[in-house]
Amino acid sequence: MPNPTAAMLVIGDEILSGRTRDANTHYLAGQLTEAGIDLKEVRVVSDDAPAIVAAVKALSAAYDSVFTSGGIGPTHDDITADCIAQAFDDHIDVRDDARALLAAHYERNGQELNDARLRMARIPDSATLIDNPVSVAPGFTIQNVHVMAGVPSVFQAMVATVLPTLKGGAPLLSQTLRVQRGEGDIAGPLAQFAQDFSDLSVGSYPFQKDGVYGSNIVVRGTDAIRLDVAMTALTAIFAA
């Protein structure tokens, strides 16, 4: 059986402007790989409501799970929650369960739960909350879309909450053969190898370091025995 599929939607002008480096995609990809969930697509959109709504609808329809990051904070440009509600035609407002979490947190810290902070309690009616052990303000899940914070430490904590609830498959394994030949030299035999092992994923990645150049050939698959067979054949091809 094929592995479940997933997509990620990264939301925020700060990502597209280059001001902030996106670390969440890299982290999520690694976690999904270990869980046997195939990350098939990543989109980055600006803080633009129609773009967010359209992307959520498209990704939700195409994949088993969708993970979003960014846009659920207390400021005016944090519009993700409202856009998700619009995408699923759901009502959204401050929810009592989310408000209670925030109220207790800010009371413990001697801070006011003002209108700005209360924005983080705006949750669609049909959503379930995602626990946030780092800064309390929750994410949420609605249908197959998991809505999470953009701050990497919070995003990672939310992923840890959500992943155990999802059905996984066979973890993706990989092996690498490093050859001191350029891609132009290996392309022919590598194409034949990829055809012979079409059930596996084969990629070539050039490197150059300290005057040495060549290619890292990476073979990926879910069957460890099949992967070993492929690597034996690949090593023989480039041993000559």
Going by pLDDT thresholds of 50, 70 and 90, the confidence category of residue 32 is very high
What tokens appear for 128 in the block? 């379930």
The identity of residue 150, as a single letter, is G
Fold of 173-237: Alpha-Beta Plaits (3.30.70)
Q: What angle do CA 181, 183, 188 make, to 5 degrees?
A: 100
pTM for this predicted structure: 0.86
pLDDT at residue 240, rounded to an integer: 64
Q: 71: which 2 tokens?
A: 């846009």
Q: Does 5-165 match 173-237 in CATH topology? A: no
Give pLDDT, residue 209. Answer: 83
User: Of the CATH numbers 3.90.1300.10, 3.40.980.10, 1.10.2020.10, 2.40.30.40, which one belongs to the domain with range 5-165?
Assistant: 3.40.980.10
Q: Taking 90 as the threshold, does the pLDDT of residue 212 lie above it?
A: no
Q: Is residue 80 helix, strand or coil? A: helix
Nearest to 70 by CA among 8, 162, 144: 8
Give the start-to-end residue ranges of the domains of the chain. Answer: 5-165, 173-237
Structure tokens at 99: 């408000």
pLDDT > 90: percent of the chain: 92
Q: 77, 47 in Cβ contact below 8 A?
A: yes
User: Is a pLDDT exceeding 80 seen at residue 171?
Assistant: yes
Is the CA virtual torsion 67, 69, 74, 80 positive or negative?
negative
Coil vs helix vs strand at 226 = helix
